[in-house]
Amino acid sequence: MRMQIEGSQAVAEAIALCQPEVIAAYPISPQTHIVERLSRKTKQGHIGRCQFLNVESEFAALSVLIGASASGARTYTATSSQGLLFMAEAVYNVAGLGLPIVMTIANRAIGAPINIWNDHSDSMALRDAGWIQLFAEDNQDAVDLHIQAFRLAESLSCPVMVCMDGYVLTHAYEPVDVPDAVQVNAYLPPYDPVQVLDPERPVSIGAMVGPEAFTEVKYFLHQQHLRALEVMPELVEAFEQHFQRRSGGLCSAYRMEDADIAVIAMGSVIGTIKDAVDELRNTGVRVGCVKIGCYRPFPKFQVSALLEKTTRVIVVEKDLAVGMGGIVSADVQSALQGRQISVHTVIAGLGGRSISTSSLKHMILEARAERLTEPYFLDLNKTVIEQELARRRDIRRAGPVAEHMLQTMNVIGTKVS
């Protein structure tokens, strides 16, 4: 049913339709609305005999799901930012154990300085943990990706993170088609675990593995990810058949048919980039946009294929590899190995800074004119940096950076844009 609904509420409805048996939750903004709604629906008996556990930390939340998933239950949790880092050890563990847990990441920056707004630092920090990572462009995408995620996870026995931009999506009200139980049940078969803790058939799970087989276990996980690259397009096709709309997928192109320049990004910023592309196209600039919908496994060949006619690639990413630059752009570069294409790294939207169409347009034109510094920080306030550097030169005990920068900028309260 099509309804005007908040992103988090819509995702909660989608999760409920997938009928998880155990949900563990620990509060952190901006994912809280999802689990709040799920706690209500569980209590009301709308999710069968689903058990909702209020736990004492994110580490416990994922650990609870490890036990539940290994007992053959369909499991779900959501987290953000510090919460994801706090459960990092368990995140790796889930993938190593091959448990098909589905987790929403309401993407948010990582402190210090503490910041509750959106960027992709959190899921990027755990990109190599062995979880499949899907990024939602809008709230319809978020709903649909979660339904696909359970089928994907359970078919490969591999965990899936569905990443959606904190606040930008989680707290945005927009029209979303929330499917019904009949549709979801027809698409998503019941969970049939490949391993289960069962007194009738005892197995040891999580035993120590030495150098003799550790590489092979990890290689197997890598193979599962490569399999996901084949399985995912099939799931998208099946989804379209069941729900009459196309959602998800590895990557997709927008106005790329004759584009010299491609802007690559993930998540909700795709909408803004498409606007910038449209406006530049009106002025005769041949630019297009490539969305990466699945970041892990990274669809190297598919991305490369979409960029066949392109001579310049600009990767706009909401994260920063400190001391290096881009994270996504490094992956794009490796996908384009051996080809004569300039790849620019643009760091944008950190800690919730708005990414405007005008800044994007300006940046694209600068890139075309070979005037971008590498990596390029969109809308960077250089004066503040220079003042702070000068202060550091003059005073040894210069104090905390963040607080002085705010003072220099004379910002009262928090200004998001």
Partner 1 sequence: MTTERIKFYQTGTFTAGNRLLDEATRTVQSRLDRTNSLNSGHRACQGCGEALGARYALDAAMRASHNQLIAVNATGCLEVFSSPYPESAWQIPWMHSLFGNAPAVASGIAAALRAKRRDDVTVIAQGGDGATVDIGFGCLSGMFERNDDVLYLCYDNEAYMNTGIQRSGATPPFARTNTTQAVGEHPGNPIGNGKNVPRIALAHGIPYVATASVADLHDLERKVTKAIGVRGARYIHVHVPCPLGWGSDPAHTMKVARLAVESGLFPLFEAEFGKVICSTPIRRKVPVERYLELQTRFKHLFGPPQDTEALAAIQAMADDNIAVYGLME
- In whole angstroms, the minimum distance from the beta carbon of 30 to partner 1 comes to 24
- Considering only 205, 305, 398, 411, the residue that binds partner 1 (CB under 8 A) is 205
Q: What is the rounded distance in angstroms from the CA atom of residue 123 to the CA atom of residue 113?
A: 18
What is the nearest approach in angstroms of partner 1 to the Cβ of residue 189? Answer: 17
Residue 202 touches partner 1, criterion: CB under 8 A: yes
Establish whether the linkage from the previous residue to 112 is cis, with ω within 30° of 0: yes
Contact present, 109 and 118 (Cβ < 8 Å): yes
Which DSSP category does 325 fall into? Answer: B
Give how many residues touch partner 1 by CB under 8 A. Answer: 44
Among positions 70, 84, 153, 314, the unique one binding partner 1 when judged by CB under 8 A: 70
Q: Is there binding between residue 97 and partner 1 (CB under 8 A)?
A: yes
322 is a contact residue toward partner 1 (CB under 8 A): no
Residue 208 or 412: the one with the smaller Cβ distance to partner 1 is 208
Among 3, 89, 245, 383, binds partner 1 (CB under 8 A): 89
Helix (H) / strand (E) containing 273: helix 269-282
Confirm or reject binding of residue 60 to partner 1 (CB under 8 A). yes
* Strand 173-177 relative to strand 2-6, pairing: antiparallel
Q: Counting contacts by CB under 8 A, is residue 213 touching partner 1?
A: yes
Are residues 76 and 102 in contact, defined by beta-carbon separation less than 8 angstroms?
yes
Q: Which position among 5, 7, 34, 59 is part of the footprint of partner 1 (CB under 8 A)?
A: 59
Return the beta strands (E) in 36-158 as ranges. Answer: 51-54, 75-79, 102-107, 132-135
Q: What dihedral do alpha carbons 191, 195, 196, 199 form, nearest 10°?
A: 140
| Residues forming a β-bridge with 160 | 102, 132
Spell out the residues 6+ positions from residue 272 whose beta carbon is closer than 8 angstroms to its own: 355, 356, 357, 360
Contact 176, 3 (CB under 8 A): yes
- The least CB distance from residue 211 to partner 1, in Å, is 12
Amino acid at 24: A
Pseudo-torsion of CA 402, 407, 413, 415, nearest 10°? -70
**Does position 63 bind partner 1 by CB under 8 A?**
yes
The one among 4, 44, 204, 410 contacting partner 1 by CB under 8 A: 204
CB 118 to partner 1: min, Å = 28
Site for partner 1 in 28-57 (CB under 8 A): 48-51, 53-57
Residue from 71, 185, 311, 357 in contact with partner 1 (CB under 8 A): 71
Q: What's the DSSP call for residue 321?
A: B
Q: Check residue 378 for interaction with partner 1 (CB under 8 A).
A: no
User: By CB under 8 A, is residue 207 in contact with partner 1?
Assistant: yes
Distance separating alpha carbons of residues 137 and 38, to the nearest angstrom = 23
Question: Among all chains, which residue has been given the structure tokens 């448990």?
Answer: 99
- Could you tell me the smallest distance in angstroms from the CB atom of residue 218 to partner 1? 15
What's the distance, Cα to Cα, between the start and end of the chain in Å? 34
User: Closest distance between partner 1 and the C-beta of residue 144, in Å?
Assistant: 26
Q: Quick check: 172 binds partner 1 (CB under 8 A)?
A: no
**The one among 32, 39, 82, 93 contacting partner 1 by CB under 8 A:** 93
Per the listing, tokens 């952190």 go with 28
Q: Name which of 75 and 170 has its Cβ closer to partner 1.
A: 75
| Contact string (CB under 8 A) for partner 1, positions 337-376, x = contact | ----------------------------------------
Q: Which residues contribute to the site for partner 1 (CB under 8 A)?
A: 21-22, 24, 48-51, 53-57, 59-60, 63-73, 75, 89-90, 93, 97, 197-199, 201-210, 213
